[in-house]
């Protein structure tokens, strides 16, 4: 049976079998849930405004020739990058988010546009019953010049799918249905040699574990005609990590490169938490033996004071690409903890220039505390936030929610957006499902990633609930068992606004207010680091907080567990279970 591993924030893993995962996460045998019958009472959302307000960007305004890192703020972890000519493509893990695997395009490594999602059809993605941190793990994107084809390979921990690959000749025009691959483990990555041969590397369990966290990197020959690993060609090329006598943990996220006739294997090591790092090996043959560099790790943030200012932490899981001028760059994941050292924005995509003029790649400033800005490649103009390019630093995202198709930054969890939303000139209508945000199944919630430690998000809501089972509003969501619900419902014949906190599956009402005014209500979430406030206005001028200031602890990865960052959701349900005192 296929064996998978699930990692906790500190890098601990618990192994289980696909059969058990299928039982826990859902068989996925049925197609994605069909659209529910339209409810008669649908809330209308409009005028959504998200504004970032992090102090670090005020303290470090960009200088000429700089751009901000992270380049993708919020929950965009496990980045992988590839290049074809003047085009760069970048993908991220998406877990149980739908659509799956966001994909971005750039011509210069600085200015990025999202062009869609790789897994955007029910036939590709079957996460309907997945926990938020199951689903799609560590995608790898590669371009093969020998057949002019792009490949995205990943592990889908849902519906018994396991390791899979999809492909296309144009990433902007859609990808194939998944091709299941027959090997165990996670974190697969393809390597296309200049002689036309192909190989696959991945993380796997050792034949016999010597200690907790002992893993191996395995290589297979890959048959491009059959899109399959060659049976019997598997070989362990790294056992344990850089130095197995030191009991290194969780060697994973491998990528292979070729430079000056030699083969380089770059991997994450140390787990995905505070001991995370990136290490490099070299060989004269893709099948090894691979020798570690004498200066590993080549990227980490684990050696620095925990109370350092503007801390970036957990750096690792990197991928390299050669820029136009021959200069290399790396994308990798890291986190920016808030004032209480909590990780609400999740794992984000960072970038650093890499000096590969010597034998091994050297991450420039990758072994000192990371800075908020880095130098741009020569000749590039920073257009972040302009001409359709994604913004960086402190920015404002405004959406009147009337477009026929939602912005790519809006996602569902476990179910497609189109199954519960409709847009017209009035705004965004949500068809409420008879499930709550606490369900491990598709909910009628449209999500936007929290991208700053300090932010303000406001939306206008037109809604008149007709029973205590109806509720619509805003959620701040880390997972089904850790979230805030801030919405409008009824008690008797009165309309109420209520704030509920759910921690470790236990829910409690934090505060509630009777709304006497008729008409639309504006809902606002404000975070200043760990301090969150939920407020409302009936006159567009004065906002009143409900429940006072509350802690964002339950929205943090290191409290709630798992791999995702906090999400801000526009939510409706016809099965409300929030009881107003």
Residues 9/15, Cβ–Cβ less than 8 Å = no
Can 140 be counted among the known catalytic residues? no
- Does residue 298 come out as left (phi exceeding 0), alpha (psi in the -120 to 50 range) or beta? alpha
From the list 54, 78, 399, 456, the catalytic residue is: 78
Sign of the Cα pseudo-torsion (550, 553, 556, 560, in order): negative
Closest listed residue to residue 416, CA positions, set 380, 451, 444: 444
Round to whole Å and give the CA distance between 513 and 97: 33
430 within 8 A of 394, measured Cβ to Cβ: no
**Distance between the two ends of the chain, CA-based, in angstroms?**
50
Give, for 413, the enclosing helix (H) or strand (E): strand 412-413
Cα dihedral sign, 112-60-79-261: positive
Residue labelled with tokens 């404002």:
396
Other C-beta atoms closer than 10 Å to the C-beta of 65 total 14
Centre a 10 Å sphere on the Cβ of residue 488 and count the other Cβ atoms it contains: 22
Q: Is there a contact between 252 and 272 (Cβ–Cβ < 8 Å)?
A: no
Q: Which of 234, 252, 313, 319 is catalytic?
A: 252
- Nearest residue to 438 via CA among 422, 459, 460, 414: 414
Residue 133's nearest CA partner among 409, 479, 442 is 479
At residue 405, the 3 state secondary structure works out as: coil
- With H, G, I as helix, E, B as strand and everything else as coil, classify residue 390: coil
CB atoms within 10 A of CB 41: 16
Task: Provide the β-strand partners of residue 460.
Answer: 46, 522
Q: Are 89 and 367 in contact (CB under 8 A)?
A: no
DSSP 95-107: BTEESEEEEEEES
Active site residue 78: yes
d(CA 491, CA 498) in angstroms, rounded, equals 11
What are the catalytic residues? 78, 252
């Amino acid at each position: 049976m296929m064996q998978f591993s699930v990692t906790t924030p500190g890098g601990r893993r618990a192994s289980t079998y696909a059969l058990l995962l299928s039982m826990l996460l859902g068989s996925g045998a049925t197609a994605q849930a069909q659209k529910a019958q339209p409810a008669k009472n649908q809330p209308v959302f409009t005028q959504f405004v998200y504004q970032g307000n992090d102090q670090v960007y005020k303290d470090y305004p960009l200088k000429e020739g700089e751009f901000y890192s992270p380049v993708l703020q919020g929950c965009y972890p496990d980045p992988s990058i590839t290049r074809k000519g003047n085009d760069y493509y970048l993908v991220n893990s998406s877990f149980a988010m739908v659509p799956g695997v966001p994909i971005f395009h750039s011509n210069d490594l600085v200015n990025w546009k999202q062009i869609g999602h790789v897994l955007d059809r029910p036939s590709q993605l079957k996460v309907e019953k997945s926990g938020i941190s199951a689903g799609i793990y560590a995608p790898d994107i590669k371009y093969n010049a020998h057949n002019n084809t792009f490949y995205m390979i990943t592990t889908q921990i849902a519906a018994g799918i396991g390791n899979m690959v999809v492909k296309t000749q144009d990433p902007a025009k859609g990808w194939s249905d998944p091709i299941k691959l027959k090997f165990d483990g996670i974190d697969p990555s393809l390597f296309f040699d200049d002689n036309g041969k192909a190989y696959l590397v991945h993380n796997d369990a050792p034949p016999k574990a010597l200690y907790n966290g002992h893993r191996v990197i395995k290589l297979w020959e890959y048959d491009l005609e059959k899109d399959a690993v060659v049976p019997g060609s598997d070989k362990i090329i790294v056992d344990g990590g850089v130095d197995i006598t030191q009991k290194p943990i969780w060697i994973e996220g491998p990528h292979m490169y070729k430079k000056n006739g030699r083969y380089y294997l770059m991997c994450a090591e140390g787990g995905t938490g505070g001991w995370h790092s990136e290490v490099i090996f070299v060989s004269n043959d893709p099948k090894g033996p691979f020798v570690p560099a004498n200066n590993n790790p080549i990227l980490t943030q684990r050696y620095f004071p925990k109370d350092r200012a503007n801390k970036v932490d957990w750096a690792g899981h990197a991928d390299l690409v050669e820029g136009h001028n021959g200069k290399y760059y790396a994308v990798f994941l890291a986190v920016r903890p808030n004032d209480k050292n909590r990780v609400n924005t999740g794992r984000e995509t960072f970038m650093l220039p890499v000096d590969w003029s010597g034998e091994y790649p050297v991450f420039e400033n990758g072994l000192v505390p990371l800075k908020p800005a880095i130098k741009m490649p020569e000749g590039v103009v920073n257009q972040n936030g302009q001409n359709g390019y994604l913004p960086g630093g402190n920015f404002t995202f405004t959406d009147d929610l009337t477009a026929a198709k939602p912005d790519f930054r809006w996602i569902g969890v476990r179910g497609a957006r189109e199954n519960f939303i409709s847009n017209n000139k009035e705004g965004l209508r949500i068809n409420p499902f008879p499930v709550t945000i606490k369900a491990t199944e598709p909910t009628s919630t449209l999500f936007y990633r929290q991208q700053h430690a300090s932010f303000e998000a406001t939306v206008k809501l037109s809604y008149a609930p007709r029973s205590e089972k109806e509720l619509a509003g805003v959620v701040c969501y880390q997972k089904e068992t850790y979230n805030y619900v801030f919405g409008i419902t009824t008690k008797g014949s009165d309309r109420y606004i209520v704030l509920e906190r759910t921690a470790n599956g236990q829910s409690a009402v934090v505060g509630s207010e009777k709304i006497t005014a008729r008409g639309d209500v504006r809902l606002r979430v404000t975070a200043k680091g760990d301090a969150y406030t939920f407020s409302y206005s009936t006159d567009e001028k004065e906002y009143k907080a409900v429940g006072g200031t509350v802690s964002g602890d339950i929205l943090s990865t290191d409290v709630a567990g798992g791999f995702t960052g906090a999400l801000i959701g526009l939510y409706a349900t016809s099965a409300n279970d929030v009881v107003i005192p």
